[in-house]
Amino acid sequence: MTETTEKPGVLVDLADVAVHFPIKRGVVLDRTVGYVYAVDGVSLQIERGETYGLVGESGCGKSTLGRAVLRLERPTGGKVVFDGVDLSGMKGEPLRRMRRRMQMVFQDPLSSLDPRQSVQSLLFEGMRAHGLGSDRKAADKRLRELLSAVGLPSTSLRKYPHEFSGGQRQRIGIARALSVGPDLVVADEPVSALDVSVQAQVLNLLEDLQSEFGLTYLVIAHDLAVVRHIADRVGVMYLGGIVEESPSDDLYEEPLHPYSKALLSAVPVPDPVVEDEREQILLSGDLPSPAAPPSGCRFHTRCPWRQPARCDTERPVLRELKPGHRVACHYAEEIRDGRLKPHEVTAEAVNPADFGDLDITATPSS
Ligand SMILES: Nc1ncnc2c1ncn2[C@@H]1O[C@H](COP(=O)(O)OP(=O)(O)OP(=O)(O)O)[C@@H](O)[C@H]1O
Ligand code: SF4
Ligand SMILES: [Mg+2]
């Protein structure tokens, strides 16, 4: 166990974290023929009590990064420090003890809950796994309090997961995560399986619980509106790396990285006048495979502002352009000030409401 020095307010500190999955071939020898660079050099810090939102296209590495934070995935490089303790090489009992302080809430509450267990036994099981709940009476009282905190009646304890609606099941998933008293909750697409009408209720619940229990959140979502609703700060991920990080309002008002600009410009605006005048940023091509990421700036194959030579060869690092607003682009200032113009594009962009399936197919003419 390595103690590290850092700012007292920081709960999660990732330094150059990488998770590379080997690609195996061959029946007998099981050779490694390459790697999926799912997470490749992520450094970020999450302050105690804040909500950090992580957004990006499907397959860019969000879930893998979330799992690396909880050490459910062992990083192949870099450091994962939780509350001053380096988890990177930790295993066995010390890791299990740390895990109690970090819990996960999943996208599909049903698939993460055993259908044959009553809510009571599901919640007890979670507590017992961490050596809690031996005093049955006290544990019972805690469960009732938790259920009430997530807005469910205590009669729910005797019911089974299929007897609840999607929103209620997510409330059970949240209660289960909170039953062990964590400091950090990683919520991976916590509302994407829910009806839009229920999404806001669950997000509001997460916010209420955060202040009640002093929680820190890492919220992963492909829906920019969800992240805007809940996050204090947002990290935009592209092909295993963070390309922009900023206070939430700042990012939505003035995205500075070409990729974030394109994402936000693809989200429809409710005001028809603004919608008509809005300029869409069109991208060419598909998301490259994380098994063969482009050289230099990973976004160069789709970037409308790409400059020859440097963009193709030198990977940009995150640089602070405004307080707390970091961007990984060699030409961020020139683009922001309009000194560099995007290349012409010839086709119309698709206008996806969310970029989970982002398909911006226009091709630049130059
Ligand atoms: N256990 C694994 N073994 C090999 N490859 C993996 C494994 N887990 C994830 N990957 C690959 O790593 C990349 C990142 O996956 P990840 O699930 O982290 O993306 P994501 O951003 O969460 O996507 P989505 O929005 O679809 O959930 C993908 O190419 C995925 O196929
Ligand atoms: S570094 Fe170059 S390719 Fe990458 S985002 Fe900036 S302008 Fe585009
Ligand atoms: Mg995912």
pLDDT tens profile 78-100: 999 999 999 988 889 999 899 99
The confidence score (pLDDT) of residue 356 equals: 44
- Looking at the CA of residue 220, tell me the nearest atom of ligand 1: 22
The residues pairing with 15 across neighbouring beta strands, listed in sequence order, are 79
* 154: DSSP letter: G
Coil vs helix vs strand at 249: helix
CA of 210 to the centre of ligand 3 (A): 23
Note the ligand closest to the C-alpha atom of 236.
Answer: 1
**Least-confidence region, from 56-70, 218-232, 276-290, 310-324:** 276-290
The confidence score (pLDDT) of residue 188 equals: 95
The confidence score (pLDDT) of residue 272 equals: 74
* Backbone Cα Rg of the chain: 22
Residue 2 has pLDDT above 50, yes or no: no
Cα atoms in the Cβ-side hemisphere of radius 13 Å centred on 52: 28
Residue 329 near ligand 2, beta carbon < 6 Å: yes
Note the ligand closest to the C-alpha atom of 296.
Answer: 2
- Looking at the CA of residue 335, tell me the nearest atom of ligand 2: 7
Residue 303 near ligand 2, beta carbon < 6 Å: yes
* Residue that is written with structure tokens 């590379």 in the block: 20
Is residue 64 within a helix (H) or strand (E), and if so which, with residue range? Answer: helix 62-69
CA of 188 to the centre of ligand 3 (A): 7
For the chain, give the percent of residues with pLDDT over 70.
89
Note the ligand closest to the C-alpha atom of 239.
Answer: 1
Q: Which of the four pLDDT bands, split at 50, 70 and 90, describes residue 129?
A: confident
β-pairing, 319-322 with 51-55? unpaired
**Which residue's CA is minimally distant from atom 5 of ligand 1?**
21
Q: Which of the four pLDDT bands, split at 50, 70 and 90, describes residue 328?
A: very high
Distance set, CA 66 to CA 135, 169, 217, 276, 361 (Å): 32, 22, 11, 37, 29
3-state helix, strand, coil in the chain (%, to 5): 35, 25, 45
Residue 13: phi and psi, rounded to 5, are: -130, 110
Residue 7 has pLDDT above 60, yes or no: no
Dist. CA 346–CA 366, nearest whole Å? 10
**Least-confidence region, from 240-244, 271-275, 276-280, 359-363:** 359-363
Residue 343 has pLDDT above 90, yes or no: no
Higher pLDDT, 267 or 65: 65
The residues pairing with 19 across neighbouring beta strands, listed in sequence order, are 39
Q: Which of the four pLDDT bands, split at 50, 70 and 90, describes residue 160?
A: very high
**Which residue's CA is minimally distant from atom 4 of ligand 1?**
21
**Least-confidence region, from 65-79, 136-150, 333-347:** 333-347
In this structure, what token pair is assigned to residue 280?
A: 């869409």
Residue 69 near ligand 2, beta carbon < 6 Å: no
- The average pLDDT across 145-171 equals 92
The confidence score (pLDDT) of residue 254 equals: 93
Distance set, CA 271 to CA 226, 277, 336 (Å): 19, 10, 24
The confidence score (pLDDT) of residue 110 equals: 66
The confidence score (pLDDT) of residue 353 equals: 40
pTM for this entry: 0.90
CA of 308 to the centre of ligand 2 (A): 10
Residue 34 has pLDDT above 50, yes or no: yes
What single-letter amino acid sits at 263?
Answer: L
Dist. CA 228–CA 225, nearest whole Å? 5
**Which residue's CA is minimally distant from atom 7 of ligand 1?**
21
In this structure, what token pair is assigned to residue 75?
A: 């990083």
In this structure, what token pair is assigned to residue 112?
A: 């993460």
**Which residue's CA is minimally distant from atom 29 of ligand 1?**
59
Q: What average pLDDT does the chain have?
A: 87
Residue 359 has pLDDT above 50, yes or no: no
Which residues, including other chains, have CB under 8 Å from residue 103's CB and lie 6 or more apart? 177, 178, 180, 182, 184, 185, 186
